[in-house]
């Protein structure tokens, strides 16, 4: 089956619909027009550029270009994690913990999936590596930022309880038990919900794309299952690391709660 | 017990509390009484040395220090729904009658307790850890006169029989007179021993 290429002017038709929505919003004073237009323009520009970058990357297939691309993706995701936290650790800690957790979990899981499960030749073939890493990072980013946001906010609100538990001789891990559990739950919630709804409520985007591009649904489904499983694993381990490192940093070497290390962003 | 301790605006605080003795601290609000207790419990960064018998504060992990030197804050916190969840099993069974609770209190939900009831239970929660030293931050602030005296008597009994060293922050001169073996007042940035209080 031949894939139908989309002409640029046909995308213009879709853009006209966005303009219609923006116009409606403006006339009805719904306050969405500005945000909508800026986001739409960003999507077009960012994706058009990434299209060019990917074409070049696929053509060269050199491992150092792929590694550079991966690092850029990771750093942008790290910045996004910091931006999404209401209260965050002071200095480079917020960025470091978020980025570190994402790096360890998504890179490990992606490389594992590439080498052991999918097995393209070479293992870093950009057609597989970059989209897979992108999906991993995007989801891990959401998980890690939700978990860290919840962790910092709960510790801030429940400082009296935590300190009272410390006064009774509990270790910092015991004093934080409930909060850690809450933070993990909010980090994992999107992945768990996505897995529960997959195929019944929603047809996941990657599978839809693959089917549109002409893959047999049976193959697309197998890839989608793989992706959802590894996304959940990556998000889960990322959240575990972020919560344990972030929790550790909120206490000092004498197990004192150090809220002075949190700043409101 | 404390040697040249400094925390916040307080500096060079030195005092000794013997086992089974109560030392009262008083001073205007904001003078750093609670911070002093927090420093002794190692909940706040501080200068100087604190020791319990031969053990220096920094020689043991912080949570072990705090299970031997237990602080009871002015405003106690409860994190489980039921009262009983906060107590070890043997402490549930041996609820002292001086506290004035029926045995069913362990099954009550925390939200129905008054602030005075929480305060009395917080004292028992701390004592049931068998501490060697207690840091009490206005332990009777929410109690009426009758139960204040009953609690004082019970606490003193426990302190004497278990030989606990106690730092007790208090406002009321009458209470200080009743419980203190020694009394220090915070003046400007340092401690001053008050004579003739006992």
Q: What tens digit of pLDDT does each residue of A223-241 get? A: 899 999 999 999 999 999 9
Which CA distances in Å does B62 have to B35, B68, B78?
17, 10, 22
Query: Above 80 in pLDDT, residue B4?
Result: no
The pairing of beta strand B69-72 with beta strand B133-137 = parallel
Chain Cα centroid distance, residue A207: 19
Q: Which contiguous run of DSSP H or E holds residue A22?
A: helix A8-27
Question: What's the total number of domains in chain B?
Answer: 1
Interatomic CA distance for residues B38 and B70, integer angstroms: 10
Interface contact flag, B79 A161, Cβ < 8 Å: yes
Start-to-end CA span in chain A (Å)? 51
Q: Which residue of A has its CA nearest to B38?
A: A167
Judged by DSSP in three states, B42 sits in coil
Interface contact flag, A255 B64, Cβ < 8 Å: no
Interface contact flag, B44 A256, Cβ < 8 Å: yes
Query: Above 50 in pLDDT, residue A215?
Result: yes
Kindly report the pTM of this predicted structure. Answer: 0.88
Whether B92 is in a domain gets the answer yes
Give the ipTM.
0.93
pLDDT for residue B6: 73
Domain span including residue B79? 18-31+58-180
Whether B122 is in a domain gets the answer yes
Interatomic CA distance for residues B184 and B193, integer angstroms: 4
Whether B117 is in a domain gets the answer yes
Half-sphere exposure of B191 (CA within 13 A, CB side): 25
Q: Which contiguous run of DSSP H or E holds residue A263?
A: strand A262-264
Whether B118 is in a domain gets the answer yes
| Segments of chain B assigned E as strands | 2-7, 10-15, 22-26, 47-52, 55-56, 69-72, 133-137, 165-169, 182-187, 190-194
Interface contact flag, B42 A256, Cβ < 8 Å: yes
Whether B5 is in a domain gets the answer no
Whether B75 is in a domain gets the answer yes
pLDDT digits (tens, 9 = 90+) for B116-150: 999 999 999 999 999 999 999 999 998 988 889 99
Interface contact flag, B45 A252, Cβ < 8 Å: yes
For residue B56, list its beta bridge partners: B51
**Residues of chain B contacting residue A160, judged by C-beta atoms under 8 Å apart:** 73, 75, 77
A24 interfacial to chain B (CB closer than 8 Å)? no
Interatomic CA distance for residues A65 and A126, integer angstroms: 10
> CATH number for the domain including B157?
3.40.50.300
Q: Which residue of B has its CA nearest to A254?
A: B62
Which residue reads 């009994």 in tokens? B157
């Amino acid at each position: 089956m031949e894939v139908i290429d989309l002409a640029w002017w046909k995308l213009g038709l879709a853009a006209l619909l966005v303009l219609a929505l923006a116009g409606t919003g403006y006339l009805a004073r719904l306050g969405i027009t500005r945000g909508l237009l800026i986001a739409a323009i960003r999507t077009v520009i960012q994706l058009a550029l990434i299209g060019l970058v990917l074409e070049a990357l696929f053509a060269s297939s050199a491992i150092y270009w792929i590694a550079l691309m991966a690092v850029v993706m990771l750093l942008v995701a790290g910045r996004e994690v910091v931006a999404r936290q209401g209260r965050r650790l002071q200095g480079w800690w917020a960025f470091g913990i978020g980025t570190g957790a994402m790096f360890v979990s998504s890179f490990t899981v992606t490389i594992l999936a590439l080498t052991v499960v999918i097995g393209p030749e070479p293992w870093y073939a950009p057609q597989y590596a970059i989209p897979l890493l992108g999906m991993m990072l995007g989801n891990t980013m959401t998980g890690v930022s939700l978990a860290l946001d919840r962790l910092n906010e709960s510790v801030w609100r429940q400082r009296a309880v935590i300190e009272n538990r410390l006064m009774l001789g509990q270790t910092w891990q015991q004093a934080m038990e409930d909060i850690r559990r809450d933070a993990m739950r909010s980090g994992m919630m999107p992945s768990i919900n996505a897995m529960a709804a997959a195929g019944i409520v929603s047809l996941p985007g990657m599978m839809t794309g693959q089917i549109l591009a002409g893959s047999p649904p049976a193959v697309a489904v197998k890839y989608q299952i793989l992706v959802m499983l590894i996304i959940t694993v990556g998000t889960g381990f990322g959240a575990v690391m972020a919560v344990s490192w972030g929790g550790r940093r909120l206490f000092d070497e004498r197990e004192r709660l150090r809220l002075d290390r949190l700043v409101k962003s | 017990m404390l040697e040249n301790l400094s925390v916040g605006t307080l500096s060079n605080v030195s005092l000794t509390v013997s086992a089974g003795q109560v030392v009262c601290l008083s001073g205007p609000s904001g003078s750093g009484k609670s911070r002093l207790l927090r420093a002794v419990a190692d909940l706040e960064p501080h200068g100087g040395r604190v020791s319990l018998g031969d053990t220096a504060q920094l020689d043991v992990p912080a949570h072990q220090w705090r299970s031997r030197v237990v602080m009871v804050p002015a405003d106690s916190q409860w994190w489980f729904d039921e009262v009983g969840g906060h107590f070890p099993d043997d402490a549930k069974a041996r609820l002292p009658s001086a506290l004035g609770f029926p045995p069913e209190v362990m099954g009550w939900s925390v939200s129905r307790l008054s602030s005075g009831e929480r305060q009395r239970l917080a004292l028992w929660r701390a004592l049931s850890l068998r501490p060697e030293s207690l840091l009490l931050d206005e332990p009777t602030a929410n109690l009426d006169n009758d139960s204040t005296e009953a609690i004082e008597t019970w606490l003193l009994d426990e302190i004497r029989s278990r030989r606990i060293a106690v730092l007790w922050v208090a406002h009321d001169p009458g209470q200080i007179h009743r419980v203190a073996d020694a009394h220090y007042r915070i003046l400007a940035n340092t401690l001053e021993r008050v004579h003739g209080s006992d």
